[in-house]
Amino acid sequence: MKVYLDLLRDIMAHGVDKSDRTGTGTRSVFARQFRHDLSEGFPLLTTKKLHFKSIANELIWFLRGDTNTAWLRENGVSIWDEWATEEGDLGPIYGAQWRSWPTADGGAINQIDYVIDCLKHKPDSRRILFHGWNVEYLPDETLSPQENVRQGKMALPPCHLLYQFYVANGRLSAQLYIRSSDSFLGLPYNLASLALLTHMLCQQCELEPGEVIISTGDSHIYSNHFEQVETQLEREPRALPTLRIKRKPESIYDYCFDDFELVGYEPHAHIAGAVAI
Res 140: pLDDT: 97
Domain assignment of residue 259, given as a range: 31-222+238-263
Tens of pLDDT, residue by residue over 188-204, are 999 999 999 999 999 99
Res 16: pLDDT: 98
> Is 3 among the domain residues?
no
> Is 185 among the domain residues?
yes
What gap in Å lies between CA 22 and CA 186, rounded to an integer? 15
Res 138: pLDDT: 98
For the chain, what is the mean pLDDT? Answer: 97
Cβ neighbourhood burial of 207 (10 Å; 0-12, 13-18, 19+): buried
Q: Which residues of the chain have pLDDT under 70?
A: none
> Is 268 among the domain residues?
no
Q: What percent of the chain has pLDDT over 90?
A: 97
Number of domains in the chain: 1
Res 1: pLDDT: 80
Beta strand 16-18 pairing with 26-37: antiparallel
Res 276: pLDDT: 80
* CATH code assigned at 91: 3.30.572.10
What residues form the annotated binding site? Answer: 21, 51, 126-127, 179-182, 190, 220-222, 276
> Is 8 among the domain residues?
no
Q: Is 159 assigned a catalytic role?
A: yes
**Identity at 258, one-letter amino acid code:** D
DSSP 185-233: THHHHHHHHHHHHHHHHHHHHT-EEEEEEEEEEEEEEEGGGHHHHHHHH
> Is 11 among the domain residues?
no
Q: Which of 118, 159, 202, 205 is catalytic?
A: 159
Res 60: pLDDT: 98
Q: 3-state class of 172 per DSSP?
A: strand
> Is 271 among the domain residues?
no
What residues form the annotated binding site for dUMP? Answer: 21, 126-127, 179-182, 190, 220-222
* Alpha-helical runs (H) found in 42-84: 52-64, 70-74
